[in-house]
Amino acid sequence: MAFHHLSVLRNETVRALVGDVAGIYVDCTLGGGGHSFALAELLAPEAIIIGLDQDGDAVAAASERMKNVPCRFIPVRRNFRYLGETLDELGIDRADGIMFDLGVSSYQLDTPERGFSYQHDGPLDMRMDTNGRKNACDVVNTYSEADLYRIIKDYGEERWAGRIANFIVTARQEAPISRTEELVRIIKKAVPAGARKDGPHPAKRTFQAIRIEVNEELAILKEAIGTAAERLKPGGRIAVITFHSLEDRIAKQTLKRLAANCICPPDMPVCTCGHRAVLKVSGKAVFPSADELTANPRARSAKLRIGTRI
């Protein structure tokens, strides 16, 4: 299957990110190269774009797409938690712009063999890095009922987390759960019929939760945004696109903290933290236009947040 992914908020992101057209830019979530390609169209030949992605299919697709851009493009198959190490290895101290496009790609969702989708049957995998040790099958079949409840509740914000966790544990006692279709059937049984009539697909939140657990998506986000802010040149910009409330809350709070001159508790009479702002954060989040939502309904939950290095 060809790598296909529509980059969300593409024009808004690259226009906000680019300052020096001859600068150094990092796309921490390369995907199919949509944002990087749009960046390249705005940059001079002496500019550099570094693209990170832990998905080998994404790196291959983006490298093909970027092969004729005028500026230098450096693809790196690596999770963005290693942003600092990557820049060090390339001999780059600071960048002019760093962006994150969080979540799962259309290609990953639409490729049944990757096991991300509750709408296509496939192996219960969900690894963004196919070399990763833990997959969704491990989570579903080895986690305790309490741990399943925790991740479905915390990462999926699922009202029926307790029932779903219980139904999973009961089902796997008869035979291991190895296919996405099997898991969807179990979730549908667990969610009361009345609750299935309205709202999103009953398996959506649970699949999101398991995917986040497999890929440790939220655990690394705060630190990665902090590293990106530290590695920006003065005037350099950070752009973060989020797709659900959990990652957006982390992005918003982390950027707010990086833009604060004091992070002491509100009841402290005198500042003792010594914290100083490193970013100036743009006010409200940017949302997709009506035209973009018509062309790409999956963009409906996207938010773009921008910060500028002081």
Is 156 inside a domain boundary? yes
Is 122 inside a domain boundary? no
pLDDT at 271: 83
Could you tell me what percent of the chain has a pLDDT over 90?
86
**Domain containing residue 168: CATH number:** 1.10.150.170
Residues paired with 100 in a beta bridge: 240
pLDDT at 269: 80
Is residue 19 located within the same domain as residue 97?
yes
Is residue 24 located within the same domain as residue 172?
no
Is residue 221 located within the same domain as residue 95?
yes
Contacts of 267 (CB under 8 A, 6+ apart): none
pLDDT at 13: 97
Residue 3 banded pLDDT, cuts 50, 70, 90: low
pLDDT at 5: 63
Could you tell me what percent of the chain has a pLDDT over 70?
98
Is residue 18 located within the same domain as residue 57?
yes
Is residue 271 located within the same domain as residue 256?
yes
pLDDT at 87: 98
Alpha carbon 72 to its chain's center = 25
- Tell me what the mean pLDDT of segment 93-118 comes to: 94
Question: Could you tell me the strand order of the sheet in which 279-281 lies?
Answer: 72-77, 48-53, 24-27, 95-101, 232-242, 303-309, 279-281
The domain boundary residue, chosen from 165, 185, 215: 215
Is residue 58 located within the same domain as residue 205?
no
Amino acid type, 308: T
Q: Render pLDDT for 213-247 as a digit per residue (tens, 0 to 9).
A: 999 999 999 999 999 999 999 999 999 999 999 99
Per the structure, the count of domains in the chain is: 2
Domain span at residue 154 reads 133-215
Q: Is the pLDDT of residue 1 over 70?
A: no
